[in-house]
Chains A and B, each alone.
Chain A
């Protein structure tokens, strides 16, 4: 490959100039003339019967145009993967985020006032808030029409023979780990504007991460509401953060559609910060029992995991996180025998959906904490145990993942070197080091039947390029990376590239901004289309220059012969030649890239992704033994990224993911009491501030993934997968206590230190 001019360079983000001037339009900023403002009334109780619901006073408030309840929802429409979620609830409420009524008014203030006038009479019912309780036989059913609170979504993965392997293991460890509900905290809250045209076709202004899938969801909803076979258009605003929070549709979106249908006006919903906390779906919390074993040489023999997941009152992607949790369970390190069982259980709590990592952080916390326990049992340095079992390029894992490029060992070496592992391990003076690895999908992920993304490229007479992509820009930089790939391939300046990515009327299909897939899938799609257009242009240029197209190249917007530097033709001239000739030509190309990965078979086996991203995080911590507080002295995040198409944006993902992981490990937790969220605000739900940033190094390891665009694989999620166990392991090295339940708070550390001191005293017969 000749010297790259754009790929691999620190190119500034395409949308940054508009954003730094305050000019980008987020959903909060959009206004349509005549627009109404929506508001939702939520349940007062976690579990109750609705005895009476009277909206008369609200309807009469001047400025209120419509009020709706479940009675106004046509048919028995339910959304969500289990179709168990009605947009407005009737008869019974099952959680404190249940929507029971909604209003549309001429101002947000009037909408809020109207909600206060809705009269509801409840009969409170006892609620179940512990999935372990909800699983028991005879527990009251959350959904009466289902026979059990355990979801009919049995997750089970078996590879090899775990029982036999257990018996043959020289060392075995077992323990239970818990993780908490944590939430995305996008700075831009959720919202939409629903508007219909004269043909009853819907346009949704939205900050969704799944434009094509949401289009389908709304299409089905419109059908159920009596509007069959309509067009649905999604126009995305600038998106103020995603992190998975917008990978599913929510009740408020269907409510907006219903209100817009009823009022025949655009209806806008914007979540307040409180609503963003309690009415969006957080990261799935987990209870994990894990056993792992190894032989006398420290080679892993088996891994057995059992999980119970609190599914909450309705079902979204939280229930499918086991499909991703299987990935580290079966394929992080070489483990020949694996067994994994997960059950999702309905309760009267909130319900989860996707959040960056999609279950991987939760599973990796258990696996990597347990691995350190195994290392201690086997008398091995935790780095040594990891090294002996590290994945390697060309491996086939027990779940049938085909590992192509793999920089796990290189990442480990970086961490060990930069952290001064050998110098700092085991010093015990309140300071310690710990590490943890990650595997994540890096080449798309076939979680749906399609993992594809389409791109259409067209060129104008002046050599400017329009790239229409299905990929969604949620702040991660997909727009810029796509522009770089196209600019590099076409030999033009990146400033000549215009990426259009926010309108389903214009943009091709894409399954969504999830699974860290944008660089790999959308990038390959853009690369394919760019290569096609390049061929078209070189064919026309070759004709005009009277040479073989094979000798031509393009740089800086000029086509030239590699054999005779005098033979040149500006690209714009090529384009005008093609266009302004009788019987002329226009240049467009399209490419739909659906990576050659596999859906899982009935046994949940199959090559989920075309390539896998690896990484290792190492942490040095200092534990204040009197207060239990943890200070991070040094943080190394080494990531195998295939190729860094844009090192600056890539580092941004590593820093951002890393700090989100630190928040998850040390301080973030949604505090629920009997189904009510007690800390739904930025004061009491503590995401890290600028003063919480530790000394951190982002280390990029390039392994040149052949299947990736210019060798790249994904990075969006890996940044926070191994953070919590790396920190937990470092704390153990520092002071000899292991916290098994996130977040690692000073209280837990101090309590553990006190218990350890007491146990030590008893043991020494003091």
Chain B
């Protein structure tokens, strides 16, 4: 037969030590308009002999913390932000691209192609390229840009050769290059949108060869796309 005990305060006989609810019982605080008030104090006031699972409020940083057996661990109230790799060539992608031909024109490096479906709506994308190559028999400069969902980003306009000198230059007829570029785009796409992206490659001028990934070598060009929400840009 159930019984009720109505009191305003419970303590041990000595007023200290551990107040224990014995037996395999479930504690049910049925009032839905109030909450448990945990013990609170400064870090200096922590128990000198804590036990695993002991939980309190740290009054210095206003967070809940518990003893994990070796130290006090805070329970973070800050949610993680979305940060997902949605496409990457983490070592080498595809074949070589020689942009010999029109000057100051970007071409899609088809070997760099990444296709993926967006995860979130209205998210942002970080495009990161690390492109190796070699130019021979020409004095020129090279550069890279991105094509993302049919739009070019981070590509210098034509008409001024100086804007193309992302690496190497007119005084260097033959030489290796390494271009690193990062760009954030916020194209306002719906979740689940299929996106195709490329690294675009181009050169300033000259009739020689501009190899993005030199043929026959094993360069380590990479292309990574991360999808974000809540990025401050």
On whether the two chains bind one another, the answer is no
Which residues of B come within 8 Å of A, CB atoms? none
